[in-house]
Homo-oligomer: A and B are copies of this chain.
């Protein structure tokens, strides 16, 4: 059997993004962590971490990490079966990566019941679009919600449905930039709002409209803030329908190009050997995610 003390150290270093913090989490000294990693590398015969800021697992390291992730999921099952095996440590949370918009809209509704029922704690990591898959590949998370269809090795991807985005702006903004109605070319000239550097929604929307080249945009890495900026007339942006129903109804935001929504399919990626709990969560999502999403068309 592998030495899981060493693997746990590797996992802690990557998850905590540093030896020092990893040591704290493990209840050890920084030195001990360093030694464990070194010993692990000696056993494996090659480095498992690239010493950078933050430390990044090597190819081998990633494989080991996602093995650890899978074993942890199995352990979760058995700890549910065998009382008094809780290790005394803090109750482990299930780490899941998802995109900010999902978290801001349908996620809580969809998983709320399951978590209270099962007494399950989550550790949610917000990641733009497809970056969550990287975490998955590195074995840092048990599952993720993202836009990529292709599962990583050892995992499965399940289509949950699509999130419908609409291009919105405040009435004042529209009056100012589009006095003669909205056209694709003009849209590219008006300032936009973009969630983060990895957020390519607006880019995709514009290129779907046939507009090439760059455009000016604000960066605002907060879902709520995003809506507030749009309301304040700073720019136009693509917002999840679900999140802005009130603003639309009250007329604080208006649609630029009606009947041109953007549907973004969302996939649930989860380890194939994820144990019963993750399996149950997957089933639950399959049934309850649809409520907040539109049926996907490809």
Apart from A1-B72, A4-B4, list 12 A-B contacts with CB within 8 A. A1-B5, A1-B7, A1-B71, A1-B75, A1-B87, A2-B87, A3-B4, A44-B84, A44-B85, A63-B82, A154-B276, A273-B273
User: Closest B-chain residue to A68, C-beta based?
Assistant: B1
- Taking the nearest CB of chain B, how far is it from the CB of A22, in angstroms? 14
Instruction: Compute how far the CA of A276 lies from the CA of B271 in the bound complex, rounded to whole angstroms.
Output: 12
Given the complex, which residues of B lie within 8 Å of A45, measured CB to CB? 83-85
Instruction: Compute how far the CA of A68 lies from the CA of B1 in the bound complex, rounded to whole angstroms.
Output: 9
Instruction: Compute how far the CA of A273 lies from the CA of B67 in the bound complex, rounded to whole angstroms.
Output: 12
Given the complex, which residues of B lie within 8 Å of A273, measured CB to CB? 70, 74, 272-275
Instruction: Compute how far the CA of A7 lies from the CA of B74 in the bound complex, rounded to whole angstroms.
Output: 14
Given the complex, which residues of B lie within 8 Å of A74, measured CB to CB? 67, 70-71, 74, 273
Q: Would you call A122 an interface residue if the criterion is a C-beta within 8 Å of the partner chain's C-beta atoms?
A: no
1/0 per residue A80-111: CB within 8 Å of B? Answer: 01111101000000000000000000000000
Pair B275/A82 contact, Cβ less than 8 Å: no
User: Closest B-chain residue to A74, C-beta based?
Assistant: B70
Contact of A64 among B3, B4, B78, B83 (CB under 8 A): B78
Would you mind naming 14 contact pairs between A and B with Cβ atoms under 8 Å apart? A1-B8, A1-B68, A1-B71, A1-B87, A2-B4, A2-B75, A3-B4, A44-B85, A64-B82, A67-B77, A71-B71, A74-B74, A272-B273, A273-B274
Instruction: Compute how far the CA of A75 lies from the CA of B44 in the bound complex, rounded to whole angstroms.
Output: 14
Pair B78/A63 contact, Cβ less than 8 Å: yes
User: Closest B-chain residue to A274, C-beta based?
Assistant: B273
- Taking the nearest CB of chain B, how far is it from the CB of A79, in angstroms? 8
